Copies of this chain bind each other. A is one copy, B any other.
Amino acid sequence: MALVDRTLLGPGPSNPYPEATAALAAPLLGHLDPEFLRVLDETCDRLRRVWGTHNARTLPLSGTGSIGMEAAFANFVRHGDVVVVAVNGLFGERMVDVASRYGANVVRVDHDWGTPVDVERVLAAHPEPSLVAAVHAETSTGVLSDIRALSLAVHKRDQRTLVLADCVTSLAGIEVAIDAWDVDLAYSGTQKCLGVAPGLSPFTVSPRAWDRRVQRPPTWYLDLNLIGAYVDGSTGGRTYHHTAPVAMIASLHAALGRVLEEGLEQVWARHHAAGTLLQQGLQDQGLELFAAEGHRLPELTTVRVPAGVDSAKVRQILLTEYGIEIGAGAGAFASSVWRIGLMGHNARPDRVELVLGALRAAIAKA
């Protein structure tokens, strides 16, 4: 059977770095093999560098990006805790759902989709929340929010409030600086700018948050106390919890090696250059960008479908004739917006030229 290959320029997954693909198919190791534990430790170290943190509790969770969101609320929210959630897209919306399942008293702060989180409004929503959550890079809208400003403002008011940041589409694409921004909890996914297949959720916990963790969360699989006893070898032993997804971790290890070898700032610059080129090129074609100016993600561009153009038909032509995947819009914008990702290995000028040319041709044909 012939294999199908695609250029993955949607909201993720993106085409992995070649090193990540090669590592997936490398000989498999046991989850307690000293050689694998070395790879795991090094993966956690590399994650710390990419997150910009010294947090001891920094690890890949065994599920796709959303499992990080679940782990955050499951391990750090108690029944009745006030949780303020900034909602400016689908993933803020999802945080409201997840937090409420774990018994949080959720105070949501709604924003128009396509606009960034308003720090003042989030602060004003409640005088002393237990946790404040926001999305750094909204995958549904292509909007960047200023997590640094939010986190510093929250902690200036009250050091005890935890700050949670969804970094699924930001990590290893744009600057993330957990320690400098004083963020307590953050999660990501491997299939975006990290350039790995979907299947892991990098996660990090500040010492302040760790002190306030739930001792026996409702979830066993995501109980960070139990997971930590396996992942953290610094105390000597390794207590088996669940079988780690060894192939995926080896793949993440390899991609992180590639990213750090290129240099984090160079990687961010590459994403910035590609995104700028794409956004300029789309506007030069007469297309209108969706995300508010000044708050646009370089790694994920949202563009309005021109009046009279069949959104799905254009995507269909791109997929079948050009082998290119771009994304539909999310939620109410499903048929009026396209999402074009330039993430990880795809944050390159050749991908920009490719998608600009193919999109122009597909719109003309549709």
Contact = CB atoms under 8 A, between A and B. Distances in A.
A219 interface: yes
B30 A218 contact: no
A30 B4 contact: no
Given A4-B35, A63-B67, A67-B221, 14 more contacts: A3-B26, A13-B243, A16-B28, A24-B24, A33-B319, A65-B242, A66-B241, A69-B221, A101-B216, A101-B219, A189-B243, A197-B245, A199-B199, A199-B247
A113 interface: no
A12 interface: yes
Interface string A164-189: 00000000000000000000000001
Given A27-B6, A102-B218, A246-B197, A64 B62 contact: yes
Interface string A218-234: 11110000000000000
Contacts of A243: 12-13, 64-66, 189, 191, 198
Interface string A141-172: 00000000000000000000000000000000
A56 interface: no
Nearest to A70: B221
A265 interface: no
Contact of A25 (B5, B21, B32): B21
A307 B101 CA distance: 52
Nearest to A320: B34
A15 B74 CA distance: 34
Nearest to A328: B32
A299 to B, nearest CB: 16
B33 A6 contact: yes
A269 to B, nearest CB: 25
